[in-house]
Structure 1
């Protein structure tokens, strides 16, 4: 695991809406945890249907207004598709194409059991309907899934581990093979129309940028197990992690990009200063 000699962090928003107070806090935490000159901005824009250039421009403007500075040039995921294709090719022997839609998965999980359906960080746990298909059979309407059981077999391990500086600092976080299979399942590595997924892209990009400390909200804690598994499969370093608290509204709900009243741009228009935003998120 990465040591503490070089503290290199990133803030990696998707330009699908305006930044809100939760983003401000995440960016400030990442900048605080970085070493001198080691804070990076990355634009995660693989969702081309929802990403907008005006939102990307607003990200740069709002972060600069908050007093943050970052290394240039800024990495954009839409310029990294060749790297994601190479990673997917490398992992292809452990993958299979899947034609199932959400309704198919829900139907397969619903019968004959009752009660809540099993869900993980990516939604419903995939029941393995297409697991016997070959990658040679992959079509344009398929997603590509990782066969997690085969991945653990190939690594010859029964447990994953990583270190977190905010949750149980100084101790390993552990997840067994059985817990991964039951609680996460066969994750998607390439989505329809994207050629990659958040999980694959973020692991490839963090390694390419030499990120040593990954700061992000506690809501992404479960996804970290997916990333650690991919790091091991591709023989990439596992950074330190820092899963920080979330900024919530008065009802205790995590902020979302639809919360325009808490958008940095709106608060600026109402007369807030950068120092006001720092105080509002607890800095």
Structure 2
């Protein structure tokens, strides 16, 4: 059974993530324990018990989402041997999880990479006063023009009618004020620590580029779509470049999903908390099916549905 794997991005995390999988499935437990050991700290206790502010910290939430997504996948593969992942993509941080799922690098190597990425981005947030805002109901062209006028960047093209701008607080406030005039129905500030996917993350991009030089990349076992150019990556140098530029560049999710749909893919499995990616796909392709897996009930429901 062919399916495309989709992995959640930052903002999807929630306290308790992975706990019931850890308790019920030895495969999930082993993977989460391996993560704690590799990091030399108890990421699992932050995932399971919080507090929320601690889990939401960029340096914690990125490795937490990475581990959770791969734990969901490991158990799914065990319970559903007929599953054949044919492509993978992830929203922002999720692109790193997608590469681990494709075997581009080992679980531990990817884990250390996302922990460092999270730490670098947290440092960049603390050093700059930035924020982000969702622009709902407008066209991409109008939001791009508005962002240019307000000297901010477009961080995410999530789905038709949902775009995110990112930059200085002053610039984002100006964009919110001008949103109605640019044809947007709603403009709302997001509860984030800083201006992700904007020029304010430049210091994080530079530091991550150095880390990426030390990672040995293998050939992915399936096509992995990059956010930065919305295409399949080819070879180690290309993968490094796309993961580096993604930190400051726009997440071109709509274009990435549209390419998968154009190739005839209609079954997608979302691995991570919530159903954000399923919601976006509903705006991109009405006849695509997205099965979201985040905990034991959703996993077992997915196995029952896919195993028919």
In the superposition, the TM-score normalised over structure 2's length comes to: 0.30
- Highest RCO, 1 vs 2 (Cα 8 Å, sep ≥ 6): 1
The structure with more helix, counted as a fraction of residues = 2
Larger radius of gyration: 1
In the superposition, the TM-score normalised over structure 1's length comes to: 0.32
